[in-house]
Amino acid sequence: MGLIVYGAALSPFVRKVRVFLAEKGADYTLENVNIFPAPDWFAEISPLKRIPVLKDDDAGVTLADSSAICGYLEKTCTAPALYPSEAGDFGRALWFEEYGDSELAGHIGMGTFRPMVVNPLMGKEPDTATAEKTIAEKLPSYFAYLESEVGAREFLVGDAFSIADISIATQFVNFAHGGFVPGAEAYPNLTAYLERMHARPSFAACIAEETAMLDKVLKRTE
């Protein structure tokens, strides 16, 4: 398929789609789009002017929203399956996808990534106070929930890597870009789980690319 992903690499939702595609072994082209502000033409393929957008030239299909895109790719690139087949596991996977896309994205994105990464990218000072307040007051309940859900499991749902793992782990990449980790002492299960997920080639490639870009732009290394 002639697949094009429109978006910015640092977006957790763009990364979600890129990891999904990598796990499927599907080739695609990433077209960078800056949505601050979004160009006029972008509204034609993304009515809400949000990223990512997937364009499948071969099928004549254009989709906005990471969940819609991943659902489409599951049907068009069937192996390996990234949504569980068993009904209960399928429902749980959808739950974790929503949990990552809404709850985690809101607090990690706005509370830590934006003040610590987006601010410097826009020429502003990092807002350490907002990030520290978010970590102290907002995130512990989310981390504790995931700590208990992961437990001794290798994956969040069933016995295979799935959309649940992608949706949760992608948010924590942005947390790490801000200079933070949940903490192995308080959240050993979650910490070990994230290390496993982020070490997968699909995630590791994105993380290396993004880290190199941030190091260069923000002059984190000489």
Residues 138 and 202 in one domain: yes
DSSP string, 175-220: HHHTT----TTT-HHHHHHHHHHHHSHHHHHHHHHHHHHHHHHTT-
- The dihedral built from the CA positions of residue 122, 128, 133 and 136, taken in this order, carries a sign that is positive
Residue 152 lies in a domain: yes
Residues 59 and 92 in one domain: no
How many whole angstroms from its chain centre is CA 127?
22
Residue with tokens 């809404």: 102
pLDDT of 183 reads 93
Question: How many Cβ atoms sit within 10 Å of the Cβ of residue 159?
Answer: 10
Mean pLDDT over the full length of the chain: 95
pLDDT of 39 reads 85
Q: What is the mean predicted confidence (pLDDT) over 159-170?
A: 98
How many domains, in total, are found in the chain? 2
The residue out of 76, 95, 122 marking a domain boundary is 76
With contact defined as beta carbons under 8 Å apart, do 143 and 190 qualify? yes
Residue 1 has pLDDT above 70, yes or no: no
Close Cβ partners of 150 (under 8 Å, ≥ 6 residues apart)? 156, 189, 190, 193
pLDDT of 222 reads 47
Q: CA separation (Å) from 198 to 156, 170, 193?
A: 14, 8, 9
- Per residue, what are the HEC states of 114-127? HHHHHHHHCCCCCC
Q: What is the mean predicted confidence (pLDDT) over 129-142?
A: 97
Tokens (6 digits) for 32: 């960078």
Residues 174 and 210 in one domain: yes
pLDDT of 38 reads 80
Q: What is the mean predicted confidence (pLDDT) over 115-125?
A: 94
Residues 182 and 109 in one domain: yes
Residue 82 lies in a domain: no
Residues 143 and 205 in one domain: yes
Widest Cα–Cα separation across the chain: 51
Residues 154 and 196 in one domain: yes
Residues 142 and 101 in one domain: yes
Q: What is the mean predicted confidence (pLDDT) over 161-185?
A: 97
